[in-house]
Structure 1
Amino acid sequence: MSQTSSFYIKQSAEQFDVIVVGSGITGGWAAKEMCERGLRTLMVERGRPVEHRSDYIGEGVDEWKLPNRGLVEEKLAADQFAEQRKCYAFDDHTKHFFNNDRDMPYSTPEGKPFSWIRGNQLGGKSLMWARQSYRWSDLDFEANAKDGHGVDWPIRYADLESWYTHVERHVGISGGRENLAVLPDSEFLPPFEFNTVEAAMKKKFDASFAPARMIMGRCAHLTKPNEKHLEMGRGSCMARSMCNRGCSFGAYFSTQSSTLPAAAATGRLSVATNAIVHSVLYDAKTNRATGVRVIDAETMETREFHAKVVFLCASTLGSTQVLLNSTSEAFPTGLGNSSGVLGHYLMDHLFGAGASGRVEGYENDYYSGRRPTGPYIPRFRNVAEQHPGFLRGYALSGGAGRKGWQQQGGKPGFGKDYKAMIRKPGQWHFGLYGQGEMLPRYENMVSLHPTKKDKWGMPQLHIDCTYSANDDKMREDMADTAANILESLGVKDVKKSIKTTEQWAPGLSIHEMGTARMGRDPKTSMLNGYNQAHDVPNLFVTDGASMCSSAWQNPSLTFMALTVRACAYAAEQLKLGKL
């Protein structure tokens, strides 16, 4: 697709059937589904256009061809990327995919850090996400009702099961069938393989810790593309470990490689880039959203787009910022906020705790390729028995590897013997690290700052979020349990690690959820079970903002399933004249 393609527009007087705000994982899906259902759809993206393949400027570029060997020059990093640089995927190959913190700042209370990692361009963070893809189960959808934290989900696994399948067949998820109650199986492509040490550890773990099991992590990579994938121009994963730079093979799922071309192929898609959504337009007489007001990112001019239905897919905090900024006499605290919960119950996943150590033996074994996933131990805490220290649970992931030439890089020497020493691989090591569930709490919230503005004159988002005692106890158990498992598997010199809040602030897991949650009761939630606003029937929010709890699995696959389900419902309601 070229930037001169007919679907790019600057302004339009047309009343579209649907406006989709955001072009990331959920926005791409909303556009695809609505276009394929015969609806004229406008995708509005605050960032610049990014063309598949041609705009992946860091792809295939070797470190030694960059001025600072892949590192971002310190002054530039500190000035423009103070928060973004904390992300694992940020370097000189990828910095163009990350938000400029100087132009788009946000605020936090003193002593309460929060890392808001953003990718403002066509495709959003789908270009550099970690691609781990897991279904949720009824253990997750029933958790709030059982322990009283958060509102009860208005849906259960059965409501999403067929939509998970719909998404997975298009995306392409590699993994193996395990028949685990806590982690339902997906529609799978072949899984990636364990290396020799991981296979040995898996055998020991499965025998010692049943019914818990070590499996290969499930990820949105094409290990064996099917006919539909090939028709889309997507190919097999080359295991290059360059995913965050963009993938010209289309081997991992992104908006550019998958949903955007599918939407464009219908001839019903329009795309407005560099269009920052200021607010949703609202007509009190009809009680309907009528479109969006945008600010041109380059000229600062304002304009409007109009549609019969509005889908907010701008990311958890992005969508909530738009809603908070959409005020009127009917909704003085934000559009659709009669419940007063808008902005509250912010969650992220708990990371930064685990253990690692040396593995003896296997000196004659090595591995090839740069596999995009690794061993994964699905949740085992608080499944059959309640842990006395904390509620909910976590997964452990990690893997085994050997130290490479870098370990010798600082040693003196030259010539044949030195080269031979560098080529010799080092000690095997194995590690496990947790990803846990943060409880939904009212006091974890976002609001609009009363005085601070961004470059375009919009109120900055003020983020007030901390870990709870339950979160802290869970992270302690992650490290303790990981260490105990490793020692039982024969790993040597095991060392635990738990990062501090300063080292791993909320937000840095990049799994923000909540702040515009769904629920059964309009008095305690923003959205119903179809991601439809209780107060404004033609307004839908299908990104992470809609989540009632965070579960322990990566959330993106569930975001996608919720989006396609909401699209099917909205399209039918529109056809019936109810929106």
Structure 2
Amino acid sequence: MPGDTTNVNINNKATAQNTYDAIVVGSGISGGWAAKELCEKGLKTLLLERGRDVVHIKDYTDTEKAPWELPHHGNLTQADRENSPIQSKCYAFNEVSKKFFVNDVENPYNQVKPFSWIRGYHVGGRSLMWGRQSYRWSDIDFSANGKDGHGVDWPIRYKDMESWYSYVEKFAGISGAKDGLPQLPDGEFLPAMEMNCVEKHVAARIKERFKERAMIIGRTANHTAKVGDRGPCQYRSKCQEGCPFGGYFSSNSATLPAARKTGNLTLRPYSIVLEVIYDKDTKKAKGVRIMDSETLKTEEYYARIVFLNASTLGTTFVLLNSVSEVFPNGLGNTSEQIGHNLMDHHYGVGASGNIEGFEDKYTFGRRPNGIYVPRFRNISEQTMRTDYVRGFGYQGGASRGRARGHDGIGEDLKDSLLEPGEWSMGIGSWGEHLPYYDNKATLNKDKKDKWGLPTLDIDCEFKENEMKMREDMKASAVEMLEAAGVKNVKAYDNAPPPGFCIHEMGTARMGKDPKTSVLNKWNQMHDVQNVFVTDGSCMASSACQNPSLTYMALTARAADHAVSELKKGNL
């Protein structure tokens, strides 16, 4: 039985060799931060990654090639779609970047209801392919559960996070403008990228027409100035392929080099963590058991603290698979909340159209960023809705493509291809998903993966509140564009399933009460004090902002607390 170590023959020499001060599971955005912080605070840290190693710059193969230099000109093959029917639908999946996404056939899961699990198993995880939009949460977000009764109240507020947001922003390198919006706190920014001429026009018209709304440049982890030896961004907009210039934040370019610099990091790729090993006598975790994904051999590693950062659903698997006499339903699961309250942002709804009057203007470079319209619903008495709670924001931008209809052959055809077409402006919305207990991930021990391990059953949906919000998301998009003078505005709702926004979170939530939550205000498990969870699974609500910056700040904060408690002898 996993967790039962009564009949294990202990090799004391191997035990000593496999003992560290800290173990971090997962090397993505939050895992990289955990490794950096723990190593810099003097802890000998083992970083476990289930996939292969990816060496910064060296392993970003083919990203400097033009499309016509690639075998399929950047397009996907039938084999790509067959091996990765889910991953290949992701906007970031292309002929070059596909090596950073899993093979769906080898990594199955079970969709009780439609759910798109987009992921990559390699060192750096999704920090290599992420969208890089980086926004702080405000007290409107941290206090929402407590005010409207959905989910459990967060055990922290913005004041607990403010200095940690600043701390991670300075290292990560976030470009943006100080916009003075209470619902979207300003941060420590590199110089902002610039809106193009049409975006500036639309932003000005929105400001004139709607007092409570603003259109700003996106806040992104693309570096507009050098950050140490990283960057600046070259405006190639090929970020998902890996950046040889270090032009955006990733574990590979930033946190892991910082961790290695200390001499305290040991990285072990090809390490599938099967379970956290619980010691019922000390009431603590004593380490983890892994399977080498290449040899299929199992091995144990030991540490005084364990950070779980395997991504929301990966951490859910580890916790549910960590069963013992004390925790028969999963490590630290006396609340019966692990796996439940799964959330993702709902998106794929918005509007677009054409705009006239800028025929003598064009864009320069390929800016890897767009505009952002911060939440403007349910943030004040004047903006309250009666048909749904919480809110949404928009991302998007203006662009100008080639003219339609190409005439002639040879030189005439080439000249016609250089003719610019109409300007277009579009905005798409990201909406908050409420935490529902019956949106969940559970272990399926009957269906196994290629390593013979249980798979996850994922049962998640958007409900009435999200559907009511989507109606407003679509209508407000049309309203703003038309007010800005955009012509031929057309609305859309593609209705992608949960998971497709790649912001899954909530399955091991923070809370004040151990009976209704898994983690305390320091991201410690209520039941197992030396286990910390700081990836998306820790979230008690989803807000509507992209969540990765909050994962970074929570991780740095939790690591600081963990080391402090270690020094005091409390862990």
> TM-score normalised by the shorter chain: which range applies?
over 0.9
Do the aligned partners of 1:12 and 1:305 also contact (CA within 8 Å) in 2? no
> How far off is 1:396 after superposition?
1.1
Do the aligned partners of 2:18 and 2:300 also contact (CA within 8 Å) in 1? no
Q: What residue is the counterpart of 2:522 in the other structure?
A: 530
Distance 2:530 2:99 in 1: 35
Q: 1:331 aligns with which of 323, 327, 334?
A: 327
Distance 2:413 2:82 in 1: 41
> How far off is 1:120 after superposition?
0.4
Structure 2 counterpart SS, 1:15: coil
Choose 56-65 or 10-19, whichever is displaced more.
10-19
Q: What residue is the counterpart of 1:280 in the other structure?
A: 276
Structure 1 counterpart SS, 2:313: helix
> How far off is 1:224 after superposition?
1.5
Q: What residue is the counterpart of 2:142 in the other structure?
A: 141
Q: 1:380 aligns with which of 376, 389, 392?
A: 376
AA paired with 1:279? E
Structure 1 residues 12 and 89: CA distance shift in structure 2, 3 A = farther
> How far off is 1:413 after superposition?
2.7
Q: What residue is the counterpart of 1:16 in the other structure?
A: 20
Q: What residue is the counterpart of 2:393 in the other structure?
A: 395
Post-superposition CA distance 1:461-511 (Å, at most 9, x none):
1100011011111112111100011111111110000013xxx11000000
AA paired with 1:559? Y
- Runs of 5+ consecutive residues of structure 1 not aligned to the other structure: 1-9
Post-superposition CA distance 1:391-442 (Å, at most 9, x none):
100001211111126x44xx45303332221101000110111001001000
Q: 1:430 aligns with which of 411, 425, 429?
A: 425
> How far off is 1:68 after superposition?
1.6
Percent identity among equivalent residues? 54
Q: What residue is the counterpart of 2:125 in the other structure?
A: 124
Q: What residue is the counterpart of 1:58 in the other structure?
A: 62
Matched, 1:447 2:450: no
Distance 1:357 1:460 in 2: 43
Do the aligned partners of 1:52 and 1:257 also contact (CA within 8 Å) in 2? yes
Structure 2 counterpart SS, 1:553: coil
Matched, 1:267 2:259: no
Distance 2:43 2:35 in 1: 9
Q: 1:71 aligns with which of 70, 75, 83?
A: 75
Distance 1:480 1:358 in 2: 17
Distance 1:31 1:274 in 2: 17
Q: 1:27 aligns with which of 22, 31, 40?
A: 31
Do the aligned partners of 1:133 and 1:220 also contact (CA within 8 Å) in 2? yes
Do the aligned partners of 1:60 and 1:242 also contact (CA within 8 Å) in 2? no
> How far off is 1:79 after superposition?
2.9
Structure 1 counterpart SS, 2:205: helix
Structure 1 counterpart SS, 2:20: strand
Distance 2:76 2:275 in 1: 34
> How far off is 1:78 after superposition?
3.1
Q: What residue is the counterpart of 2:162 in the other structure?
A: 161
TM-score, structure 1 length as denominator?
0.95
Distance 2:222 2:15 in 1: 36
Distance 2:33 2:515 in 1: 29
> How far off is 1:211 after superposition?
2.9
**Superposition map of 1:114-263 within 5 A:** 114-225=115-226, 229-230=227-228, 233-263=229-259
Structure 2 counterpart SS, 1:99: coil
Matched, 1:290 2:294: no
Distance 1:235 1:63 in 2: 23
> How far off is 1:370 after superposition?
0.8
Distance 1:465 1:220 in 2: 30
Q: What residue is the counterpart of 1:364 in the other structure?
A: 360
Choose 317-326 or 76-85, whichever is displaced more.
76-85
Do the aligned partners of 2:354 and 2:489 also contact (CA within 8 Å) in 1? yes
Matched, 1:482 2:486: no
Distance 2:76 2:371 in 1: 31
Q: What residue is the counterpart of 1:578 in the other structure?
A: 570
> How far off is 1:67 after superposition?
1.9
Do the aligned partners of 2:445 and 2:453 also contact (CA within 8 Å) in 1? no
> How far off is 1:278 after superposition?
0.6
Structure 2 counterpart SS, 1:351: strand
Structure 1 residues 302 and 11: CA distance shift in structure 2, 3 A = farther
Q: What residue is the counterpart of 2:102 in the other structure?
A: 99
Structure 2 counterpart SS, 1:403: strand
Do the aligned partners of 1:476 and 1:498 also contact (CA within 8 Å) in 2? no
Distance 1:113 1:196 in 2: 40
AA paired with 1:471? E
Post-superposition CA distance 1:87-120 (Å, at most 9, x none):
10001111110011111100012xx210001110
Distance 1:339 1:152 in 2: 15
Post-superposition CA distance 1:365-386 (Å, at most 9, x none):
1110111111111000111132
Do the aligned partners of 1:323 and 1:334 also contact (CA within 8 Å) in 2? yes
Structure 1 residues 11 and 397: CA distance shift in structure 2, 3 A = farther
Distance 2:310 2:145 in 1: 26
> How far off is 1:212 after superposition?
1.6
> How far off is 1:553 after superposition?
0.4
AA paired with 2:384? Q
Distance 1:192 1:142 in 2: 31
Cα RMSD of the aligned pairs, angstroms, is 1.2
